[in-house]
Amino acid sequence: MLSKPFITAPIVGTTNVRHIEEAVSALDIKLDDATIKRLEAPCVPHIKTGAF
C-alpha cells in the first residue's frame, strides 16, 4: 500500500499487543513490481457510490 500514490488507510483490529506488532512488521516487507502486478490483477475497480 505504501507504493500507491493515493491514501489507503487499513483498519487494524486487535485483541493483543502481538497482533499490532505483526501488523507493524509488515511495513518492512518489500514487493517487487511483478509481484504487485500479479497480486492486483484480480482486482476490478468499482464505481464509487453513496456517501464515500
The three-state (H, E, C) secondary structure of the chain, written as one string:
CCCCCCCCCCCCCCCCHHHHHHHHHHHHCCCCHHHHHHHHCCCCCCCCCCCC
Q: What is the pLDDT of residues 1-52, one digit of tens each?
A: 677 777 777 777 788 999 889 888 988 999 999 999 999 898 887 777 777 6
Q: Is the pTM of this model over 0.85?
A: no
Would you list the domain boundaries of the chain?
Answer: 8-45
